[in-house]
Structure 1
């Protein structure tokens, strides 16, 4: 196997910094190259937040890079290796054939009323919409058909991998990442004799799309993973399963349901 070009992204926790320094030495000693500009492999060292940062840092190279996570704290959903397994990680990188697993992403387009150009994003976990100062009112369209008028704190649209994050905390379902779909989950919706929504998470296939149309005059905040866009005059936010995917190096990719059990249930013995 040819030597790899590797980029390292890590947080500033001491344990992560030390792991990054050690990993650099091991990679170079094994004939690989540290290349932060045009890598073949991006290794994040920290937790899921660090992996999210790495994803957005190299989002323009999704067709060319694979990601791999080393966690230096609690078990994460995107991190397969521990910081005490670096020698084994490098040996595996050097000796194994290229394999990867792909996960769906969320395509996000923010549209404005005043003629400004649309803003386009990809999300690995989720995007949310909330009103800044009052109950949010929004029309939810599936394809071109009005599905419901939402009133409440906001809405979350998550990928399958993001379904275990904020989506789960607000009552959304956990989806296996092999399912190419996105999920709409309401945040504290108002449901009574006057106002009514479906009140349950909606799983939207890759053939469909969502548009959340917002009323004129409101000020809203739209989040995309850990980033936020706070502006007035947002006309709508459009969501679909993205045509691009994120690829993870699957040298030792942990089973998804094993991750879920470890994260939320723990040892059953």
Structure 2
């Protein structure tokens, strides 16, 4: 088996990375940053997002597993005191693969040019560079509403616990192949109205945003922020690709939710 390790970069994470690499190589596993079968993320959720984007061209061949070295990571199953157990599990057992849906974002431009495509593990957001964000929203080719506000967030089920949750969106189990559209500070008064609730859309539905007056936007893809100019439309749907996580023991989704947001260590 070939493996790679990504680190948060702080001393604790770097030390754990080196220790795990040494242990796994002692078991005759091969360290290969180019074509790993499994990628171990040591840090937090941001570290795993970095690893996901680094290996996004190998999603059908590479599985991810996380070790958290700070606050509880939503994607991280293991803690530093368990790395010997994790190393033995990787070296000696056949892991279960859990697949989660991803978000596809396609940006098209008013005066032609090659469209831009992204994959997101958590979410994509769209905001204006200046002034009020005004966008027509189409669902399955039909006009749904004209949105005015600060922006829009489109999340995956696994990403529904991240920025989407802070915006008041629903938490969705990642076994559901869906995306969620959530408003960011919408303007609602006697003149302007939006639906005012998050929308959960199945994998055969497509959302298209079409600019009304401004055509330059900040678009985030997980932890990445990119400015796009002269935008004609931004399309979102459930991607054909999936992310694969290596599971060596049960860690149910709702336990993750409980441990991340409810548990104080006493219940």
- Give TM-score, length-normalised by structure 2: 0.97
State the 4+ residue runs in structure 1 displaced beyond 3 angstroms: none
Determine whether 1:188 maps to 2:185.
Answer: yes
User: Is contact 1:217–1:232 with CA below 8 Å preserved after alignment?
Assistant: no
User: 2: distance between equivalents of 1:117 and 1:216?
Assistant: 22
| Secondary structure in 1 matching 2:228 | strand
Which of these residues, 68, 79, 84, is aligned with residue 71 of structure 1?
A: 68
Per the alignment, residue 234 of structure 2 pairs with 237
User: Is contact 1:216–1:233 with CA below 8 Å preserved after alignment?
Assistant: no
| Secondary structure in 1 matching 2:34 | coil
| Secondary structure in 2 matching 1:182 | strand
User: Is contact 2:134–2:213 with CA below 8 Å preserved after alignment?
Assistant: no
User: Is contact 2:65–2:245 with CA below 8 Å preserved after alignment?
Assistant: yes
Which of these residues, 157, 160, 177, is aligned with residue 160 of structure 1?
A: 157
User: 1: distance between equivalents of 2:165 and 2:95?
Assistant: 33
Q: CA deviation at 1:231?
A: 2.6
**Structure 2 unaligned runs (5+)?**
none
Determine whether 1:10 maps to 2:4.
Answer: no
Q: CA deviation at 1:113?
A: 0.5
User: Is contact 2:6–2:41 with CA below 8 Å preserved after alignment?
Assistant: yes
User: Is contact 1:216–1:235 with CA below 8 Å preserved after alignment?
Assistant: no
Aligned positions of 1:202-213 closer than 5 A: 202-213=199-210
Q: Aligned pairs, how many?
A: 266
Stretch moving more, 31-40 or 225-234: 225-234
Q: CA deviation at 1:253?
A: 4.4
User: Is contact 1:80–1:253 with CA below 8 Å preserved after alignment?
Assistant: no
User: 2: distance between equivalents of 1:46 and 1:63?
Assistant: 23
User: 2: distance between equivalents of 1:166 and 1:42?
Assistant: 25
Superimposed CA distance per residue, residues 122-164 of structure 1 (whole angstroms, 9 cap, x where no aligned partner): 0000000001111110001101000000000000000001000
Determine whether 1:150 maps to 2:122.
Answer: no
User: Is contact 1:186–1:201 with CA below 8 Å preserved after alignment?
Assistant: yes
Which of these residues, 172, 176, 179, is aligned with residue 173 of structure 2?
A: 176
| Secondary structure in 2 matching 1:81 | coil
User: Is contact 2:138–2:208 with CA below 8 Å preserved after alignment?
Assistant: yes
User: 1: distance between equivalents of 2:217 and 2:83?
Assistant: 44
Q: CA deviation at 1:218?
A: 3.4
Q: CA deviation at 1:43?
A: 0.7
User: 2: distance between equivalents of 1:55 and 1:231?
Assistant: 23
